[in-house]
Amino acid sequence: MTVRSRWSEEEAARFIARYGPEWGEPLALRTYSTRLLGEDPDLVLHGGGNSSVKVTTSNLFGDEISVIYVKASGADMATVEPAELPGLDLDYLRRLRVLRELDDAEMVHQLRTHLLRADGRTPSIEALVHAFLPGVYIDHTHADAVLALTNREHGVAVAKEALGEDVIVLPYVTPGFKLALAAARALDDHPDAWGMVWAHHGIVTWGETAHESYEMMIRLVSRAEQWIEAGGTETGGQPASVRIAATVTSEVEARLESRAAQVAPMLRGLLAEQTGDCDRPYRRVVLQWRAGPETLAALAAPAAPETFVSPVLTTDHLIRTKAEPLWVDELPPGDSDAARAQLQAAVQGYCERYESYLERHGSAVPAGVQPFGPQPRVVMIQGLGVFCAGPDLRDAQIASDITEHTMEVKASIAAGGAKYQGLPEEELFRMEYRTLQHAKLGRTMEGGAGSAHAPLRGHVAVVTGAAGAIGTGITEGLLEAGGLVAATDLPGEPLDTLVREMEARFPQRIVGLPLDVTDPRSVSAAFDRLARMWGGVDLVIPNAGVAAVAPLTELTLERYRELERVNVEGTLLVLAEAARMFRRQATGGDIVLVSTKNVFSPGANFGAYSSTKAAAHQLARIASLELAADDVRVNMVAPDAVFACGACRSGLWAEVGPDRMKARGLDEVGLEAYYQDRNLLKVQVTAAHVARAVLFFATRQTPTTGATIPVDGGLPDSTPR
Ligand code: ZN
């Protein structure tokens, strides 16, 4: 926790040059300093905090009107654009101050009906605070250091003492209209104050200019930090800066990593919520594992459970982390039954506590708000680190960032010898289930990977041979369906290119893993890495394959074995590793093998390929028998020749094509036309077609296992029988 001013006149001038002509100088500067605040995680985390500016402008009739631009609800301060600062009729909003009460729904109506533009975003829940306070520029953050002052016994008094007489410190007030009234009244009573702190919530500063308001924020937060660094005046406890002095050696790190790879899938399975849908019985979560030296040292402290199992710092964290984390004592070694049992009992206990919390306050859940599942979102495992869960990767990352900051604040309070104090349960529940908060969550799920068009949201997929033509098409299809994808292949330029291109289109949703399917260590290392990175695996597409052209009389045993190793042993190793992972998670899984039409209709001079692919196909059918009891479905897709996916030419066809061209007296174009012409539908089979067949199984459209979809335009000889 060390904030400092990052204001730069040159940067401010750049914002004026960029945004001024369209939006005016005040909004350009408002955008600049909002981002400065949002970029500092000690001040603002993921959508917390907001800002405003008041201007005078004229309407179509030339009448002078007062306008306030307030950050939109859910917009991120770090990346805010002027369009995310909707304008509102300031004079009207100020009249609302005479009301005694204004509920959330009515408040939103009042705000939305007094927007300057019909398409304006809904302003922040704290818009009325900004309207009622007189400052031209107003900044509001949830700074860690300020929360470290207020979230403790006698927090208001401590904050007053630390920050001085010229700063207003308000006890906690529910955000919204009530808080706007309380803040305005407090400033009326102390007109000389230059800053305001809200217990269990955050801090507000203001100024005539964007720069002034920003510097006030930095000054006030720095005051809080200095007081904490000095160990406070309460007890003379050890300064916060010396409380962590741990290092992690590489040996310890390797042990931790292998342990996390065992534990993460078990935990991920336990955190999946049951849906009651027999085809898709679990709502999966993505996990983030954090185990930096500070985190491990904090968890090792004797008082760690008392310190960290306590309520959130501010109520906007509730929808991300729930009110409290789950604490788990050090687990027995290995992925033994004992470890699973301990983990299961801990999660079960949390679920029961959450269910009864829901029961105690159930009448306060507003209509239209779906209760969260009872599983914890933050799990602290002594000796192993912190695992945070979310319905998708972004949510899990947000929960992790919030948790790291929360731990730092709580540790600093404990280091000063004080006792952390959160809000009472009733208020926590009310805020966890507040419609406005859930609307924020809904917005983050719109479009992108969260919408109904993202059936694989929260799913982790592995594709082998991803850099080939079919692999590229499948990778793209899985990403479009909202999955997180590990694209695996031999290391090299083709894999790097695929990952680079997909990363540009689907940021943070793809990882490239070098993988040799013929090497058991390489296969298990890739699955372990995914367990640590995202928590586990749900969907495996064994697709890696090689081909060779030779009549049996000329096929050397050496060449045959090369194909056998990739096509058969590679499939076996991937199937077996997938099965182990699925069993650890205990939430089922899907495997879709990329087979070939040659399994059903082999080609002359293609013995090594046809027979080894037939063995792989048979292994997948065996897997469908062995894994059905674990709700793992294993199916196959059997494409005819796919020559390319975009610019990615098929490596397999580079091998096979020249011979086939020679045999049929055709050139490359002619060969593609030949394959198109030989099927009933006269279509060219593409990688996108194969991807769609994979998605049919991967999204569990029918209760099917051990089956094959031909993707060949209709080849009666190779229709599975
Ligand atoms: Zn706030």
Dihedral over alpha carbons 612, 616, 618, 621 (to 10 degrees): -170
Interval between CA 317 and ligand 1 midpoint (Å)? 11
**Per-residue model confidence (pLDDT) at position 435:** 81
At 686, the amino acid letter reads T
Interval between CA 124 and ligand 1 midpoint (Å)? 9
310 phi/psi in degrees, rounded to 5:
-150, 165
Interval between CA 177 and ligand 1 midpoint (Å)? 13
For residue 660, being part of any structural domain is answered with no
Out of 441, 469, 488, pick the residue that ends a domain.
441
Q: Which domain holds residue 155?
A: 9-229
> Are 501 and 636 members of one domain?
yes
> Are 466 and 324 members of one domain?
no
Dihedral over alpha carbons 250, 255, 260, 266 (to 10 degrees): 170
> Are 286 and 402 members of one domain?
yes
Interval between CA 108 and ligand 1 midpoint (Å)? 16
Specify the CATH number for the domain of residue 589: 3.40.50.720
Length of the chain (residues): 721
Interval between CA 70 and ligand 1 midpoint (Å)? 13
Interval between CA 47 and ligand 1 midpoint (Å)? 10
Q: Is 645 helix (H, G, I), strand (E, B) or coil?
A: strand
Which H or E run includes 266?
Answer: helix 250-271
For residue 332, pLDDT over 50 is answered with yes
**Per-residue model confidence (pLDDT) at position 111:** 97
For residue 658, being part of any structural domain is answered with no
- Per the CB < 8 A criterion, the answer to whether 690 and 697 are in contact is no
Out of 410, 441, 472, pick the residue that ends a domain.
441
Specify the CATH number for the domain of residue 127: 3.40.225.10
For residue 86, being part of any structural domain is answered with yes
Out of 196, 229, 262, pick the residue that ends a domain.
229
> Are 137 and 174 members of one domain?
yes
Specify the CATH number for the domain of residue 387: 3.40.225
For residue 246, pLDDT over 80 is answered with no
> Which of 436, 424, 426, 429 is CA-nearest to residue 103?
436
> Are 403 and 484 members of one domain?
no
**Per-residue model confidence (pLDDT) at position 28:** 98
> Are 466 and 382 members of one domain?
no
For residue 78, being part of any structural domain is answered with yes
Give strand pairing partners of 328.
Answer: 381
Please state, in angstroms and rounded to a whole number, the distance separating the CA atoms of residues 339 and 330.
Answer: 9
Interval between CA 142 and ligand 1 midpoint (Å)? 6
For residue 614, being part of any structural domain is answered with yes
> Which of 589, 649, 6, 603 is CA-nearest to residue 272?
589
Interval between CA 341 and ligand 1 midpoint (Å)? 40
Please state, in angstroms and rounded to a whole number, the distance separating the CA atoms of residues 89 and 95.
Answer: 11
> Are 314 and 370 members of one domain?
yes
For tokens 């943070």, the residue is: 508
For residue 522, being part of any structural domain is answered with yes
> Are 522 and 418 members of one domain?
no
For residue 636, pLDDT over 90 is answered with yes
Interval between CA 181 and ligand 1 midpoint (Å)? 15
Helices (H), 73-140: 90-95, 104-112, 127-132
> Which of 201, 411, 485 is CA-nearest to residue 316?
201
Of 108-122, 388-402, 451-465, least confident by mean pLDDT is 451-465
**Per-residue model confidence (pLDDT) at position 367:** 82
For residue 76, being part of any structural domain is answered with yes
CA within 13 Å, CB half, 615: 16
Q: Give the total number of structural domains in the chain.
A: 3
Interval between CA 44 and ligand 1 midpoint (Å)? 10
| Res. 20 pLDDT band, cuts 50 70 90 | very high
> Are 98 and 128 members of one domain?
yes
Q: What is the pTM (predicted TM-score) of this model?
A: 0.92
At 307, the amino acid letter reads T
- Per the CB < 8 A criterion, the answer to whether 280 and 700 are in contact is yes
> Are 255 and 219 members of one domain?
no
198-245 confidence digits (pLDDT tens): 999 999 999 999 999 999 999 999 999 999 988 765 444 444 444 444
> Are 83 and 27 members of one domain?
yes
